[in-house]
Amino acid sequence: MTPRLWQTGLLALAFVAGCGESASRHNPGAQPSSPTGGAASDPTATAGGPATAGGAATPAGGGGGTSPSGGSSHDFGGVAGASGEPTLALPPGCRPRTPMQTADICSLAVDCDASPSVRTYCHRLDSGRWECQCANRDHTYQLEDAAGIQACALAARLCSDEDLELGEESCEHTSESSGQDSCAVDVACGKPIDLDGATDARAWLMRFGSARCDRAAPATPFDCTCSNGALKSNYAGLADSGELVCGPLAAFCMSGATPVFDGEEACSPISSDSGSDGCQRFDACGLQLPLTDDVSLVRYEQRYTNCVASPGGGSACSCSAQDWAFQFHVSTAPDEASCESSTQNCDPNAVIERTGPARCEPLAVDANGDDTCRATLTCDQDATVDNRSIVAHGRLIVLCRRVEAGMPWSCSCASERETARFEVGAVGANATQACGQGSAACLEQLGIHVGPAHDPIEPPDP
């Protein structure tokens, strides 16, 4: 959890008490709100005065021995003496050092014989609970019926116990606001701690989170950020209004679940242009993660679509993202409608079906001596994408090798990331002929990849 400003004030307060130097009074009115919505103390409260509303305790020791900072500084611990000093419920074998408290904050260092020393810091919330942290671990506790230095002592016990017995967690919104185009939610979750009847106090192990969303205009995606402790995540949120999105988003982030985007694709237009020479458009597209019937998350990537007039009629089109592309031919002219439908061809959920055999032509054939060849072929194949007819473009790479003249040829091939190995007969074939036969055999075994493709890989060693 991000350290709070009140911790810094407590550190300074404890340092001054330990060194015996003078310091100005801590100003509770300057404290920021706590994550649970509790916050700054009553600025009129004075250290060593009576308990204020919300559960702050009178500093122990009857107000004697006031430190320069205004908080009480006594040798707490052990058996209560004539002065009425309270016994602090510290971990076994531990002694208090430099205790400090005011009506709204406390700090305490604890030295122990058989366990690491700890320093605790607590401050009072508006609810009356005390919220505490320890320097030795990144945990936050909330306490009831333990105030001031007693809260710091109980926090020291909690921070020294590696096997706390915890109950079922419950969460609540500590603050929330929403409108048509924005929202904000803060969440506090607590697990009750079993204190074994050693004290009348109650304690919870806490964690905190939040969600924030806003959008530039109605009917556009929300730009959202959520947090679970120090872990932050960014999403696009799809919802009709801000009143719907922040609550489900905060609950999802606090669950710690790994996001799985496998729902329908959503695209948001960025820009488009069309003219006599063709059409181009940019979209932000991504698969959805539904949270409720009314709210989904999306992680967008930018998609570019381009169509130009084809010499034989229709349009040569492509849709692409950062590291993949899909090239194809459509029968319609390059216009705004062509570009819009071409963008949909790159939907990861699109159903692609081949409707005819692949037609390939050699793009390059390289024979390395008499016993090795490599061929690159460009291929077309009739297909449909969600029942839209296209001619898909792809490539095939073929590699053939033989041990020596008179031996059979072994070949391998690759189309995008798919590969195959096989043998070709025709012992007497030369290298160029072997690659030709290998290309035909590869189409029978593998075919060509139809759909969005990454940079092609080389065939395996035949």
- Spell out a b/e string for 148-182, using b for 16 or more CB atoms within 10 Å of the CB, else e: bbbbbbbbbbbbbeeebeeeeeebebbebebeeeb
Helix (H, G, I), strand (E, B) or coil at 336: helix
* Residue-level pLDDT at 136: 77
**Residue 215, phi then psi, degrees to nearest 5:** -140, 155
φ, ψ for residue 159, nearest 5 deg:
-75, -15
φ/ψ of 338, rounded to 5, equals: -60, -45
CB neighbour burial string for 407-442, b if at least 16 within 10 angstroms, e if fewer: eebbbbbbbbeebbebebeeeebebebbbbbbbebb
At residue 36 the predicted structure's pLDDT band, cuts being 50, 70 and 90, is very low
Q: Give 407's pLDDT tier (boundaries 50, 70, 90).
A: confident
DSSP assignment of 392-452 equals EEEEEEEEEE-SSTTSPEEEEEEETTEEEEEEE--TT--HHHHHHHHHHHHHHHT----SS
Percent with pLDDT over 90 in the chain: 65
CB 162 within 8 A of CB 91: no
At 85, is the pLDDT very low, low, confident or very high (cuts 50, 70, 90)? Answer: low
pLDDT number for residue 63: 33
Q: Please give the Cα distance from 42 to 124 (Å, whole number).
A: 10
CB-based contact 279:273 (threshold 8 Å): yes
The residue with greater pLDDT, 406 or 170, is 170
- pLDDT value for 86: 63
Mean pLDDT of all residues in 137-154? 93
Taking only the tens place, the pLDDT of each residue in 195-227 is 877 688 999 999 999 999 999 999 899 999 999
The candidate with the shortest Cα–Cα distance to 298, out of 340, 251, 254, 265, is 265
User: Would you say 412 and 421 are in contact if contact means Cβ atoms under 8 Å apart?
Assistant: yes
List pLDDT tens digits, range 105-124: 999 999 888 778 889 999 99
**Residue 254 binned pLDDT confidence (cut-offs 50, 70, 90):** very high
